[in-house]
Amino acid sequence: MLFPFVKYQGTGNDFVIMDNRDKQFPIGNHEAVVQICHRNFGIGADGFILIEKDPKADFYMRYFNADGYEGSLCGNGSRCAIHYAKSLGLTNETLTFSAADGLHHAQCIGDSIALELHDVYSWEMRDEALFLNTGSPHHVVFVADINAVDVATQGPLIAHGAPYFSDGTNVNFVQVLDENTMAIRTYERGVEAETLSCGTGVTAAALAVHIMQKTEKTTLSFETRGGNLQVSFNPGDNVYESIVLQGPAAAVYTGNWELV
């Protein structure tokens, strides 16, 4: 059976996206998702996304990590899914969609997508790092030189070490460049490697920068390995509200994948 797909990238974080409104894709076939995401034996991607019907929103985004299993919210994947859904005529410039963590609002501004994330009410200091959840769990550690970090070695040690273990966490290394601009590198669980960009990771880092009083700004720019993202938010009394992640999403190519 042939499944049409579109390969997308959002600041270098890449995804294979399929229209699954007819419910034909076997979502329990983890091996199929692994093969699709494999860069040598498949299409190659950091994640896999299905666009499905949702009675309470314009569409539902079903997200899979490259390990074949459904994951938590993916910020860059959400922006790519929105761009694709708009090309299908499912959305307008202002829209709502559902994901693993519930309903989200978003706005299309040309090829840039502004995605609103849920309010964040809690965070936890862990040694000199900060742990918080922005739709996915994130460990944020600040470094003096982003280019000197051995992400491939340090990332998995933190991601699956105490107190995270088998559940794992995403790990973000952040360098403050100035009060408006940060550089970031992320080790993603599920991918089990450094990715060129992580949307929920950038969002977690933006809140962490403010929580740790490294800046008073509430609109921050982030330099990832794959491009630039912007995060804005409103800090309140033990809460961060109106959190918006904005950045580009672009289709790379289309094709058909055969399930055998």
The catalytic residue among 37, 80, 108, 198 is 198
- Widest pairwise Cα distance in the chain: 54
Task: Single out the residue of 61, 66, 12 nearest to residue 39, CA to CA.
Answer: 66
CA distances from 44 to 13, 17, 32, 158, 169 (A): 11, 12, 12, 26, 23
CA 229 distance to own-chain centroid: 12
Rounded distance between C-alpha atoms, residue 58 and residue 91, angstroms: 6
Rounded distance between C-alpha atoms, residue 198 and residue 203, angstroms: 9
Task: Single out the residue of 150, 140, 125 nearest to residue 175, CA to CA.
Answer: 140
Please indicate whether residue 198 is annotated as part of the active site: yes
Q: Active-site residue numbers? A: 74, 198
